[in-house]
Amino acid sequence: MTINSKSDNDKFTLFPDGTLHLYDNLREVQREDHTEYEGELFIMHTALTQAEVEAQFDSLLAVEKAKWAVVVAKAEAQRAQKVLADTDYKIIKAMEKLLVAQGLVESRESLRDAVRGAM
């Protein structure tokens, strides 16, 4: 989903090749010499006619918004997984240093060997 500017306030544009631009939350923007409309743009391809798109606009928009939500959720999950992996690595390194400093293990290498041997 992107924010797009256009010259009219139609909630969708159907192109001859079947490309359909669906607009949500259109708002009027005054420029120096003209008025534009900005809104969230969702793009899809369809075999529907202009009348069919008009009749099914709300459903089509809901489907496209749901698809976009999945894209956003996947990206957030990947970012969160990276943060978690980075945090886990830092915690493991800190524990290794603590155990060595307290004399509970001879070295980080011996600790790693003991853990590997236990698996």
Report the amino acid identity of residue 114.
A
Q: Rounded to whole angstroms, how far apart are CA atoms 21 and 12?
A: 5
Query: Pairing mode, if any, of strands 35-45 and 12-14?
Result: unpaired
Using the predicted structure, report yes or no on whether residue 118 has a pLDDT greater than 70: no
Give the pLDDT confidence score for residue 119 in this predicted structure: 67
Residue 75 pLDDT grade (very low, low, confident, very high; cuts 50, 70, 90):
very high
pLDDT in tens, 8-56: 889 999 999 999 999 999 998 988 888 899 999 999 999 999 999 999 9
Q: What's the helix, strand, coil split of the chain in %, to 5?
A: 55, 25, 20
State pTM to two decimals: 0.65
